[in-house]
Amino acid sequence: MDLADSFSLVRSLPALPVPTHYSDSEGHASSVIDLIFLDMNTAQVFHRIEPDLRRPSDHAPLIVNLPIMPENTWIHRKVLKCDSKEESTFFSTIIAGLGRLNFLGLDSTTGLDSLSSNISKVFADTWDAHAKNITITARSKEW
């Protein structure tokens, strides 16, 4: 139960407590441990045991009706369309920006750190200037 709690799960209880295992052998107990764990948001959902649906099996099915709630998905991204004019301009700007950098001061870690920061800045600034902001939703058109 502690493990289930750590995942925010609760144990579902059957609407009617009837056995789920029916032994065909005399003297064998018709017992089995059935555990169903659900998200806390569906804690009020009970499962049903359907002994009439068990034949030819010796186990009765467990049935849970779970509610389906609408999902509002809003994902924000910056993108460049492949093989577009914007993508070509992006690459041209990157090449020009890298061409303006000074690669001569690489004789110290300070010089290397500075060059790395400048390369990163060229890419970040160019991406921000040319990438398009989009919002992906559950009903988005293909982008």
| 34-76 residue pLDDT tens | 788 887 666 577 788 888 887 787 888 888 877 766 666 778 8
Q: What's the confidence (pLDDT) of residue 143?
A: 47
Closest Cα to residue 68, out of 29, 39, 47? 39
DSSP 59: B
Residue 124 has, within 13 A of its CA and on its CB side, a CA count of 6
d(CA 82, CA 91): 12
Q: What's the confidence (pLDDT) of residue 42?
A: 61
d(CA 63, CA 135): 38
Mean pLDDT in the chain? 83
Q: What's the confidence (pLDDT) of residue 141?
A: 64
Beta strand 74-79 with 62-64 is: unpaired
d(CA 13, CA 17): 8
Give residue for tokens 């059935």: 34
Q: Is the pLDDT of residue 142 over 60?
A: no
> Per 3-state DSSP, what percentage of the chain is helix, strand, and coil (rounded to 5)?
35, 20, 50
Report the Cα–Cα distance between both ends of the chain, in Å, rounded.
44
In degrees and rounded to multiples of 5, residue 6 shows phi and psi of -65, -20
Closest Cα to residue 47, out of 79, 84, 10? 10
pLDDT in tens, 72-124: 677 888 999 999 999 999 999 999 999 999 888 788 888 899 999 999 999 99
Q: Are 140 and 72 in contact (CB under 8 A)?
A: no
